[in-house]
Amino acid sequence: MALSLKDVEVSRAGRPVLAGVSMHMAPGSAVMVRGTNGSGKTSLLRAVAGLARHEGEIYFTRGVQVLDPAFMRSEEIHLVTPDGGHNPRLTVEETAQFESGFYGGDAEDALLQLGLVPQAEERVGALSTGQRRRLSLLRLLIDKRALWLLDEPFSGLDEEGRSIVRTLIEAHRSRGGVVLIALHDEEDIPGARTLRVEAA
Amino acid sequence: MSPRMALFLREAALRARQGGWAVGAGLFLILGGLAPLAIGNERELLAEAGPGLLWLILGVSVFLGVEGLFEDDLTSGAFEQFILSRSSLAEVMLVKLGVAWVFLLIPLLVAAPILLLAYEASLAGILALILASPGLVFTAGVVSALSSGQRRGAPLLVFCAMPLIIPALVFGPQAGTGGLVPFLILAAYSLQAIAICPFLSAAAIRLQLT
């Protein structure tokens, strides 16, 4: 799967935040979106996921075939946000069981990989920031999708957590997956291109 | 496990924990129990005014029980994940509201006969309650979805949703005295709510996300 952006303009709360973004991402490629706070990194990711309004063209292709954005949303896009997207009242175990039933995949193995087995009985709301961050990676492991949109995937993670994220990204790229990452300047993904965005 | 079953189990765990059902049933019992103190304890008056009063109380109890139904999923970003899934958001809302209805109805089925007997009103009111309750919960769900993320969501919910349950307020108290017609109308009210409200509440959530 490949992702193309042509002259994309994204607005947040009715005001344009970034404009004129064009790029092409081939299968197996990764792009780091860098910029200051408020420059629209998250908004760009949300626009690609179809969760925010945008001007210009965002399209997905497989070979010569253009893919329907609705199909991409339901089958091929993972968005990992800092909040994680997990209800704070459920335990880690319940969350994992729900996701494995909802997306179809093996939850036990995924929890093991993320090192969250000791926290299985804890509520998501009671987890530390780093543990919640790890849990947010769960669906990447459970459901194999082609396009990953990662919003600050390293924030709050310890060295072990960071290496898990790096390994996941590496494995995903070697399978031909595409990764778009919103990232601060101090972090780096080997072999990834950089897209610098500035507030319009 | 099918995606729908997984969603159902998740919702059931959340509803049991969030306690909206206890708020709904508790309010219903307390308001229903205190009302005779305000309107006097003449038996004829109570039997006459009781059913109408109970339906009004039922509306408020259901609304406050449904309040905050979508709050956690909205703030934690779970709704965004539902949009990026194979299930449609309307389907997710149907399951959510359906589970919320079951959890509100079961304690009400215990509380309602007690109050109806105490008021010496017709027990046919229970059947009317079962028929009308999906309509109440689903209608309240739409307003709850619209007001989620707002502070003071509960008063706003009662204020905005109360006019929407007029059919239940008009025909609910006639159960037992008006023949078959009130039951049919209450059932129709619920059926249209079940058909329309999942889509409306899904649209309301989408609106909040963009």
Q: How far apart are CA A61 and CA B108, in angstroms?
A: 53
Instruction: Give pLDDT, residue B83.
Output: 93
Does domain A2-196 bear CATH number 3.40.50.970?
A: no
Buried b (16+ CB within 10 A) or exposed e, B144-168: bbbbbeeeebbebbbebbbebbebb
- Is the CB of A89 inside 8 Å of chain B's CB atoms? yes
Please check whether residue A29 is in contact with residue A178, taking contact to mean a CB–CB distance below 8 angstroms. yes
- Among partner residues A87, A99, A100, which is closest to B14 by beta-carbon distance? A87
pLDDT, tens only, A104-115 = 888 888 999 899
- Whether A119 has a pLDDT exceeding 80, the answer reads yes
Give percent above pLDDT 90 in chain A: 64
- Whether B22 has a pLDDT exceeding 80, the answer reads yes
Q: Do A98 and B85 touch (CB under 8 A)?
A: no
Q: Do A98 and B10 touch (CB under 8 A)?
A: yes
- Whether A200 has a pLDDT exceeding 80, the answer reads no
pTM for the model = 0.92
Six-digit token string for A46: 């949300």
Least confident window among A32-41, A162-171, B12-21, B33-42: B33-42
Please check whether residue A30 is in contact with residue A88, taking contact to mean a CB–CB distance below 8 angstroms. no
- Is the CB of B162 inside 8 Å of chain A's CB atoms? no
- Is the CB of B11 inside 8 Å of chain A's CB atoms? no
The predicted model gives B172-188 an average pLDDT of 89
Q: Do A87 and B77 touch (CB under 8 A)?
A: no
Give percent above pLDDT 70 in chain B: 100
Q: Do A98 and B6 touch (CB under 8 A)?
A: yes
Q: How far apart are CA A2 and CA A25, in angstroms?
A: 6
Q: Do B17 and A98 touch (CB under 8 A)?
A: no
Distance from CA of A145 to the nearest CA of B (A): 11
Q: Do B85 and A102 touch (CB under 8 A)?
A: yes
The predicted model gives A58-72 an average pLDDT of 92
Six-digit token string for A147: 């396009």
- Is the CB of B86 inside 8 Å of chain A's CB atoms? yes
pLDDT, tens only, B108-156 = 999 998 888 888 888 888 999 999 999 999 999 999 998 887 777 778 8
What integer best gives the mean pLDDT of chain B? 89
Q: Do A51 and B209 touch (CB under 8 A)?
A: yes
ipTM over the 0.95 cut-off: no
Q: How far apart are CA B173 and CA B128, in angstroms?
A: 9
- Is the CB of B7 inside 8 Å of chain A's CB atoms? yes
Residues with Cβ within 8 Å of A144's Cβ and at least 6 positions away in sequence, in order, are: A105, A175
- Whether A178 has a pLDDT exceeding 90, the answer reads yes
Distance from CA of B121 to the nearest CA of A (A): 40
- Is the CB of A53 inside 8 Å of chain B's CB atoms? yes
Instruction: Give pLDDT, residue B4.
Output: 92
Q: Do B76 and A86 touch (CB under 8 A)?
A: yes
- Is the CB of A14 inside 8 Å of chain B's CB atoms? no
